């Protein structure tokens, strides 16, 4: 059974989003996504300060099976990246929602929060 | 049973089954302007005996020639053991080593190759080879561009004294990417790239992502690699060295150029145990610093440990390749020149660093002998300064005519560079490797002189 925390929001492209505050949203990929990918071997991260645009690529996650684009759930600026993923990409497999977080974004249009999927909708999507 | 698997009635049956009238209608999508119906250049089939006779008569035309050509492909002595071992069934028939547990021998060999190439180039990593020197250069340049931020609009500079065919391939491969390639002028007296030329170009372009230079360059001249590398690094550019692997056993390898070394080394691996064979197959090598490893195209073999802590070899970093990355693959390179790499690995291990160095020295010395003798006849060196094992000479006669005359004497006398460098009129690139004895060189210069005198008349 996939782990889909109720407190988070989700994208159609399998990213999760946590609203730490109005100014910081944390983004990762879901438990479901990491299971599909298999062992994650590398992650291509953006740089702090880069601008991201909603639904556009901001990085690539590589597993032994595939290389997949990561899509921004919101437009804004990167304020932090999870540097421990550089040496330990397996954190995404082990702990997708905590230690496996990928980036933190300062949102440009916080109302975009409303367009994200609730846990239940995401659960339906992947079932 | 015919060799062609489908008879006319098979074809009709298949067309009927899928409800199509003719084979041509299967290719409807292709615009008729792109279809070629007649190919008069391709002759009709021959029977086996006639084909053998034709091939033998053609082989006779080339087999006996004493080769002084060089220009990117070099005649070297290849110890008999190299191809005796390479042609063993285990190597000759080995399939692509995706299944590591069944391919440990092939994988170990590639790993040894990578280790030796990286060490020869003074670099941290090597891939398991590419198609040839020119494609290795194009891949090296793309690799350099990918290593830069996507915000940077790329601009590639290449020294115009790099092999003209390599430059053509680079233009061909970079054109669809819309990446501008600028050629750096060489100094007409010395045949090398100077800081002044770089500064002049910088004033015009103000943009440089990847700088490509040769060592030795196409004219056989040795470049001031340290100064150029440092200059390019000051401009925050990636430095790609196109080098001759034999020369690198003796000269300073790219990894040691300037204060921090070139970033990528590439070139043609043919001098390492691969016969000239009428132009191929050859292999390209590609080495770089570790920080660029994820941008490196082609295969890489890694050494690992299995569950029982036993060493094992496997293709690694495959995520860059098509079967994983698909449309996001680093390049469309999907294999390596396995058999030629086998020969090169055996060649390098038989000779060792000391043996390779001796060959490089012998090439250099033989070329010196050649130069001394050429200076005594009616030809002029085009460039002043140190050469490795080839140099360009201006003849007081039509180069093609001279080459034809030499050919009749059993000598492949050099490479006519004039069509590629119009400012170098009647210029001949001549090479002497370790395979030439003093007598060979003496004979060649005598014949060259005679051919020139004959062309005068």
Interval B398-426: pLDDT, tens: 999 999 999 999 999 999 999 999 999 99
Among A62, A68, A78, pick the best mutation site for testing chain B contact (most B Cβ within 10 A). Answer: A62
CA distances from B301 to A41, B112, B114, B115, B313 (A): 16, 9, 8, 10, 7
- Predicted confidence at residue B2, as pLDDT, reads 59
pLDDT higher at B100 or B394? B394
Q: B429 near B71, Cβ under 8 Å?
A: yes
pLDDT, residue B451, reads 96
Domain coordinates of chain B in residue numbers?
66-75+352-456, 80-347
Please state whether B234 falls in left (phi above 0), alpha (psi between -120 and 50) or beta.
alpha
Domain boundaries, chain A: 9-111
Per-residue pLDDT band for B319 (boundaries 50, 70, 90) equals: low
CB A88 within 8 A of CB A57: no
How many contacts (CB atoms, under 8 Å) link A and B?
21
pLDDT band at B377 (very low <50, low <70, confident <90, very high): very high
Instruction: Quote the pLDDT of residue B386.
Output: 96
Interface of A with B (CB under 8 A): 41-42, 60, 62-67, 69
User: What percentage of residues in chain B have a pLDDT greater than 70?
Assistant: 98
In this prediction, residues B262-276 reach a mean pLDDT of: 97
pLDDT higher than threshold 60 for residue B1: no
Under the banding of pLDDT at 50, 70 and 90, the label for residue B35 is confident
Q: Got the DSSP string for B2-43?
A: -SSS--HHHHHHHHHHHT-S-HHHHTTTS-GGG-----TTSP
HSE-CB for B257 with a 13 A CA cutoff: 34
Contacts of B319 in chain A (CB under 8 A): 41-42, 62-64, 67
- Please say if the pLDDT value at position B278 is more than 90: no
Quick one: closest CA in B to A46, which residue?
A: B149
How far does the CA of residue B324 sit from the closest CA of chain A (Å)? 5
Q: Which residues of B touch A67 (CB under 8 A)?
A: 319, 324-326, 328
Cβ <8 Å between B326 and A67: yes
Using 50, 70 and 90 to split pLDDT, how confident is the model at B303? Answer: very high
CB within 8 Å: B325 and A41: no
Q: How far apart are CA B332 and CA B338, in angstroms?
A: 17
Which pLDDT score, from 0 to 100, does residue B94 have? Answer: 85
Q: What distance in Å separates the CA atoms of residue B113 and residue B126, rounded to the nearest whole number?
A: 8
Report, as an integer, the average pLDDT of B184-190.
97
CB spacing of A63 vs B325 below 8 angstroms:
no
For B328, nearest residue in chain A (alpha carbons): A67
Best of A37, A50, A51, A66 to mutate (most B CBs within 10 Å, chain B)? A66
Question: Quick count: other Cβ atoms within 10 Å of Cβ B120?
Answer: 24
Confidence of residue B256 (pLDDT cuts 50, 70, 90): very high
Any bridge partners for residue B380, and if so which?
B394
pLDDT interval class at B457 (50, 70, 90): low
Q: Does residue A10 contact residue A36 with C-beta atoms inside 8 Å?
A: no
User: Do B328 and A64 make contact, defined as CB atoms within 8 angstroms?
Assistant: no
CB B401 within 8 A of CB B387: no
> In the predicted model, what is the mean pLDDT of residues A23-48?
94
Q: Is the pLDDT of residue B320 over 70?
A: no
Rounding to the nearest 10 degrees, give the CA dihedral for residues B84, B85, B87, B90.
Answer: 150
What mean pLDDT comes out for the span B52-66?
85
Spell out which residues of chain A touch residue B326, defining contact as CB-CB under 8 Å: 66-67
Q: What is the pLDDT of residue B44?
A: 86
Residue closest to B122 by CA, chosen among B295, B257, B231: B257
- Indicate the fold that domain B80-347 takes in CATH: 3.40.640
The answer to whether domain B66-75+352-456 and domain B80-347 are alike in fold is no
pLDDT at position B95, please? 82
> Residue B10 corresponds to which tokens in the numbers above?
């098979």
Q: What is the distance in angstroms between the Cα of A124 and the nearest Cα belonging to chain B?
A: 28
What CATH fold (topology level) applies to the domain B66-75+352-456? Answer: 3.90.1150
Mean pLDDT for chain B overall: 93
Give how far Cα B216 sits from Cα of A64, B349, B387, Å.
41, 24, 7
> What pLDDT score does B4 carry?
74
pLDDT in tens, B139-183: 999 999 999 877 779 999 999 999 999 999 999 999 999 999 999
Three-state SS at B416: strand
In chain A, whose CA is at the least distance from the CA of B329? A67
Are residues A62 and B326, on separate chains, in Cβ contact within 8 Å?
A: no
The gap from C-alpha A63 to its chain's centroid, in whole angstroms, comes to 15
Q: What pLDDT score does B42 carry?
A: 85
| pLDDT one-digit tens code per residue, A63-101 | 888 889 999 999 999 999 999 999 999 999 999 999 999
Sign of the Cα pseudo-torsion (B84, B88, B92, B97, in order): negative
Strands A57-63 and A40-44: antiparallel
Yes or no, beta carbons of A64 and B294 under 8 Å apart: no
- Model confidence over B205-248: pLDDT tens digits? 999 999 999 999 999 999 999 999 999 999 999 999 999 999 99
- Rounded to whole angstroms, the Cα distance separating A34 from B71 reads 52
Instruction: Say which CATH class A9-111 falls into.
Output: mainly beta
Distance CA B142, CA B240 (A): 11
pLDDT at residue A106 greater than cutoff 80: yes
Q: Using DSSP, state whether B141 is helix, strand or coil.
A: helix
Which of the residues A67, A70, A86 would you substitute to probe the B interface, choosing the one with the greatest number of B C-beta atoms within 10 Å?
A67
| pLDDT confidence tier of residue B98, bands split at 50, 70 and 90 | confident
The nearest CA of chain A is from the CA of B99 a distance in Å of 14
Separation of first and last alpha carbons in chain A: 10
Within 8 A of A69 by CB-CB distance, chain B residues are: 328
Using an 8 Å CB-CB cutoff, list chain A residues near B328: 60, 67, 69
Residue A123 backbone dihedrals phi, psi, to 5 degrees: -60, -40
Whether residues B324 and A41 touch (CB distance < 8 A) is answered with: no
User: Token pair for residue B142?
Assistant: 């793309």
**So what's the pLDDT on residue B330?**
76
Residue of B319, B327, B329 best to disrupt the A interface, most CBs of A under 10 A: B319
Residue B282 contacts residue B270 (beta carbons within 8 Å)? yes
The pLDDT value given to residue B75: 95
């Amino acid at each position: 059974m996939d782990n889909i925390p109720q407190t988070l929001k989700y994208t159609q492209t399998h990213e999760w989003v946590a609203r730490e505050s109005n100014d910081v949203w944390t983004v990762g990929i879901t438990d479901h996504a990491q299971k599909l990918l298999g062992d994650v071997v590398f992650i291509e991260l953006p740089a702090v300060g880069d601008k991201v645009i909603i639904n556009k690529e901001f990085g690539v996650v590589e597993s032994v099976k595939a290389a997949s684009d990561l899509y921004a759930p919101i437009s804004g600026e990167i304020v932090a990246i999870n540097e421990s993923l550089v040496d330990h990409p397996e954190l995404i497999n082990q702990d997708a929602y905590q230690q496996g977080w990928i980036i933190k974004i300062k949102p440009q249009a916080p109302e975009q929060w409303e367009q994200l999927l609730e846990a239940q909708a995401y659960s339906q999507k992947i079932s | 049973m015919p060799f062609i698997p489908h008879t006319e009635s098979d074809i009709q049956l298949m067309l009927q089954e899928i409800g199509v009238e003719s084979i041509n209608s299967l290719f409807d999508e292709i615009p008729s302007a792109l279809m070629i119906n007649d190919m008069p250049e391709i002759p009709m089939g021959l029977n086996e005996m006639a084909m053998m006779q034709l091939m033998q008569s053609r082989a006779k035309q080339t087999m006996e020639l004493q080769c002084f050509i060089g220009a990117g492909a070099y005649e070297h002595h290849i110890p008999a053991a190299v191809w005796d071992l390479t042609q063993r069934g285990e190597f000759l028939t080995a399939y692509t080593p995706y299944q590591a547990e069944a391919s440990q021998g092939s994988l170990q060999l590639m790993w040894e190759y990578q280790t030796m190439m990286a060490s020869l180039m003074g670099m941290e990593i090597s891939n398991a080879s590419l198609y040839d020197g020119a494609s290795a250069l194009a891949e090296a340049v793309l690799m350099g561009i990918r290593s830069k931020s996507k915000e940077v609009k790329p601009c590639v500079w290449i020294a115009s004294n790099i092999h003209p065919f390599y430059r053509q391939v680079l233009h061909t491969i970079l054109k669809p990417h819309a990446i501008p390639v600028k050629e750096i002028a060489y100094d007409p007296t010395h045949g090398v790239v100077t800081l002044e030329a770089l500064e002049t170009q910088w004033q015009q372009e103000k943009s440089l992502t990847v700088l490509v230079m040769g060592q030795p360059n196409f004219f056989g001249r040795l470049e001031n690699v340290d100064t150029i590398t440092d200059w390019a690094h000051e401009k925050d550019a990636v430095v790609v060295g196109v080098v001759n692997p034999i020369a690198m056993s003796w000269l300073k390898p790219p990894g040691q150029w300037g204060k921090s070394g070139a970033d990528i080394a590439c070139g043609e691996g043919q001098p390492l145990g691969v016969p000239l064979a009428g132009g191929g197959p050859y292999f390209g090598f590609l080495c770089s610093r570790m920080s660029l490893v994820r941008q490196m195209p082609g295969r890489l073999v890694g050494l690992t440990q299995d569950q029982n802590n036993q060493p094992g070899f496997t293709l690694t970093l495959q995520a860059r390749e098509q079967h994983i990355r698909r449309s996001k693959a680093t390049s469309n390179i999907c294999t390596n020149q396995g058999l030629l790499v086998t020969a090169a690995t055996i060649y390098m291990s038989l000779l060792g660093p000391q043996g390779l160095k001796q060959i490089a020295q012998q090439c250099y010395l033989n070329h010196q002998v050649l130069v001394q003798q050429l200076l005594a006849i009616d030809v002029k060196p085009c460039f002043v300064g140190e050469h490795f094992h080839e140099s360009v000479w201006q003849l007081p006669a039509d180069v093609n005519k001279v080459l034809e005359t030499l050919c009749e004497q059993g000598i492949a006398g050099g490479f006519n560079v004039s069509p590629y460098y119009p400012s170098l009129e009647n210029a001949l690139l001549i090479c002497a490797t370790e395979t030439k004895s003093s007598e060979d060189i003496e004979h060649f210069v005598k014949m060259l002189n005679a051919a020139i005198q004959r062309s005068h008349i």
